[in-house]
Amino acid sequence: LTMGNGASTTEDEQQEEVAITEDSGVYLSEDLQAKVLADFQSKHLRDEWENRQRTILAASNERVARDEQRRVELEQQLGAWRAQNESTQSQLDTKIDGLNARFADIAVEVQHDAAQIENKIGAGPKFSQGDNCLNARAQVTACLKDSDSIRKCDGFVDILENCAKKAVVSN
């Protein structure tokens, strides 16, 4: 206690005044404050997570839509390519059939013309199955096999050529 003319106040009175001023507001226990804070943070995190999921889903949906559009475009291109391929194959088949028919017609004509020429001229020369120029052929073959230059075999080639002319003229 303080002695004197001033107002005396004790420590208990000061604590009581502090308690009165503190009691004038709303106070939450520490556990309740922690729970409110956790709920707020949890709600904030949940909102952030939902926003992130929406963003991911939107990007995924856009990608799926682009992929689907590209698939449709590719299917259209494939259909156009198949139609063009079918048309080209049809044209080629027609050309091949025409050429085969033309070849068959020309082969028949050549056979017919050859038969007519044979009838006009008679049968061509008949060569015997014997040893026509066998020695000359063997010499040319041996020379070509052993020689590194074709020019070295010119003499043997001339002999073979003369032999072949004699065989044709004599028959």
137 exposure class (CB count in 10 Å sphere: 0-12, 13-18, 19+): middle
Query: Mind listing the pLDDT tens digit for each residue in 111-145?
Result: 998 888 888 877 655 555 556 788 888 898 998 88
Give tens-digit pLDDT for 34-92.
787 777 777 787 888 889 899 999 999 999 999 999 999 999 999 999 999 999 999 99
Complete DSSP assignment for 122-160: -------SS-TTHHHHHHHHHHHHH-S-GGGGHHHHHHH
Instruction: State the CB neighbour count (10 A cutoff) for residue 144.
Output: 14
